[in-house]
Amino acid sequence: MAYFDGGGDISELLRDAVPGPALGPAPAEIPMIVTGVRLPSETVERLDALAGNDRGGRSGLIRRAIDEYLERHPGGAAA
Protein backbone atom coordinates (compact mmCIF):
# COMPACT_ATOMS: atom_id res chain seq x y z
CA MET A 1 0.00 0.00 0.00
CA ALA A 2 2.87 2.37 0.72
CA TYR A 3 3.88 2.02 -2.94
CA PHE A 4 0.63 3.65 -4.02
CA ASP A 5 0.74 6.29 -1.29
CA GLY A 6 4.16 7.36 -2.49
CA GLY A 7 2.84 8.35 -5.90
CA GLY A 8 5.05 5.80 -7.66
CA ASP A 9 4.67 4.76 -11.29
CA ILE A 10 2.17 1.89 -11.45
CA SER A 11 2.49 1.33 -15.20
CA GLU A 12 4.47 -1.88 -14.57
CA LEU A 13 1.62 -3.22 -12.44
CA LEU A 14 -0.95 -2.36 -15.11
CA ARG A 15 1.06 -3.60 -18.10
CA ASP A 16 -0.61 -7.02 -18.24
CA ALA A 17 -4.00 -5.92 -16.92
CA VAL A 18 -7.02 -6.80 -19.02
CA PRO A 19 -10.53 -5.45 -18.65
CA GLY A 20 -13.04 -7.72 -16.96
CA PRO A 21 -16.38 -8.66 -18.45
CA ALA A 22 -19.15 -6.09 -18.58
CA LEU A 23 -21.25 -6.82 -15.53
CA GLY A 24 -24.23 -4.70 -16.44
CA PRO A 25 -26.53 -3.16 -13.86
CA ALA A 26 -27.32 -5.05 -10.69
CA PRO A 27 -30.89 -6.34 -10.57
CA ALA A 28 -33.05 -3.71 -8.89
CA GLU A 29 -35.17 -6.28 -7.07
CA ILE A 30 -32.24 -7.98 -5.32
CA PRO A 31 -30.25 -5.71 -2.98
CA MET A 32 -26.59 -6.73 -3.11
CA ILE A 33 -24.08 -6.45 -0.29
CA VAL A 34 -20.40 -6.49 -1.20
CA THR A 35 -18.35 -8.93 0.85
CA GLY A 36 -14.75 -10.10 0.72
CA VAL A 37 -13.59 -13.70 0.70
CA ARG A 38 -10.01 -14.93 0.72
CA LEU A 39 -9.48 -17.67 -1.86
CA PRO A 40 -6.35 -19.41 -3.07
CA SER A 41 -5.14 -18.00 -6.39
CA GLU A 42 -5.58 -21.43 -7.98
CA THR A 43 -9.28 -21.40 -7.03
CA VAL A 44 -9.74 -17.91 -8.49
CA GLU A 45 -8.06 -18.99 -11.73
CA ARG A 46 -10.43 -21.98 -11.98
CA LEU A 47 -13.44 -19.76 -11.28
CA ASP A 48 -12.35 -17.30 -13.96
CA ALA A 49 -11.89 -20.11 -16.47
CA LEU A 50 -15.36 -21.47 -15.66
CA ALA A 51 -16.93 -18.00 -15.85
CA GLY A 52 -15.48 -17.40 -19.32
CA ASN A 53 -17.71 -14.88 -21.03
CA ASP A 54 -20.61 -15.43 -18.64
CA ARG A 55 -22.15 -12.05 -17.90
CA GLY A 56 -22.25 -12.73 -14.16
CA GLY A 57 -18.54 -13.54 -14.13
CA ARG A 58 -16.79 -14.90 -11.09
CA SER A 59 -19.27 -13.29 -8.69
CA GLY A 60 -22.20 -14.89 -10.50
CA LEU A 61 -20.64 -18.33 -10.18
CA ILE A 62 -20.01 -17.83 -6.49
CA ARG A 63 -23.57 -16.55 -5.91
CA ARG A 64 -25.04 -19.58 -7.71
CA ALA A 65 -22.83 -21.96 -5.72
CA ILE A 66 -23.90 -20.37 -2.44
CA ASP A 67 -27.57 -20.46 -3.47
CA GLU A 68 -27.28 -24.17 -4.33
CA TYR A 69 -25.53 -24.88 -1.02
CA LEU A 70 -28.21 -23.04 0.96
CA GLU A 71 -30.96 -24.96 -0.86
CA ARG A 72 -29.32 -28.26 0.14
CA HIS A 73 -28.88 -27.11 3.76
CA PRO A 74 -32.16 -25.46 4.81
CA GLY A 75 -32.76 -24.22 8.32
CA GLY A 76 -29.49 -22.40 9.00
CA ALA A 77 -26.81 -23.34 11.49
CA ALA A 78 -27.42 -25.84 14.26
CA ALA A 79 -27.42 -24.40 17.78
**Residue 57 near residue 51, CB atoms below 8 Å:** yes
Confidence of residue 68 (pLDDT cuts 50, 70, 90): very high
17-53 in b/e form (b: 16+ CB < 10 A) is eeeeeeeeeeeeeeeeeeeeeeeeeeeeeebeeebee
Tens digits of per-residue pLDDT, 14-67? 788 888 777 777 667 777 888 888 999 999 999 999 888 777 888 989 999 999
Residue 27's identity, in one-letter code, is: P
Helix (H, G, I), strand (E, B) or coil at 6: coil
User: Could you tell me the pTM of the whole model?
Assistant: 0.54
